[in-house]
Amino acid sequence: MKKIVLVLLFVTLSCPVMAQEMFVNVGGTYDTNTRNARNQWSVTYRQDLGDHAAFSFSYINEGHQINHYRDGLAAQIWGHTDLIDSRLSLALGIGPFAYADTQVVPITETFQDRHGFGVISSATATWYGLRPLLLQVRFNYIATERSFDTLSGTFGIGYLLGASASPESSCKPADRERTTKSHFFSVNPS
């Protein structure tokens, strides 16, 4: 799984023209079955699809629950709205979650690898006021059929790729993309 994360990071960071946002989140995850809490971290790439839609790919490490070491990949579609002059974005996302769960067999202390799919639903609040740095609060609910379900809350720091730090530039990538440039002047269709 670590190799997959490294490849995803390399591909997204080597093609910044296509990317929009990268986040690293850390926080806690709560196993809804056993009521155990553990640390969690994730890496997310997010691309806007317009003014109110986006998609993302995430690697999520859910920490070490009792007898479980689960991490996975998520692909999500998002709906979002901007507030406070586009400095705050609230978003809801949903999509598939493919996981690998290394389970400890209690009596023999051996390991079993289980793989499966679930559904991840998320809510985020992202602050764009410090561009190109971004701040994010994220909540995830991951439901699986053959493994445990989790609820998590994380705080993230992100980077707006390709952003200009000048005061007259827009905070959000979607606003920047509406500007059409020619060789001699810029036209902003408003």
- The CATH number linked to 43 is 2.40.160.20
Residue 80 belongs to what domain range? 2-187
Mean pLDDT computed over 19-33: 92
Residue 162 pLDDT > 80: no
Kindly state the percentage of the chain with pLDDT values over 70: 75
> Residue 111: its pLDDT value, please?
87
CA 100, CA 90: separation in Å to the nearest integer?
30
Residue 184 pLDDT > 80: no
Contact of 169 with 163, CB cutoff 8 Å: yes
For residue 69, what are its two tokens? 């070491």
Mean pLDDT computed over 36-43: 95
Three-state DSSP string of 11-28: HHHHCCCCCCEEEEEEEE
- At 40, the pLDDT band (50, 70, 90 cuts) reads very high
Residue 19 pLDDT > 90: no
| pLDDT tens-place string over residues 41-99 | 999 999 999 889 999 999 999 988 878 889 999 999 999 999 999 899 999 999 999 99
CA 103, CA 92: separation in Å to the nearest integer?
31
> Residue 27: its pLDDT value, please?
98
- Number of domains within the chain: 1
What is the rounded average pLDDT for all residues in the chain? 83
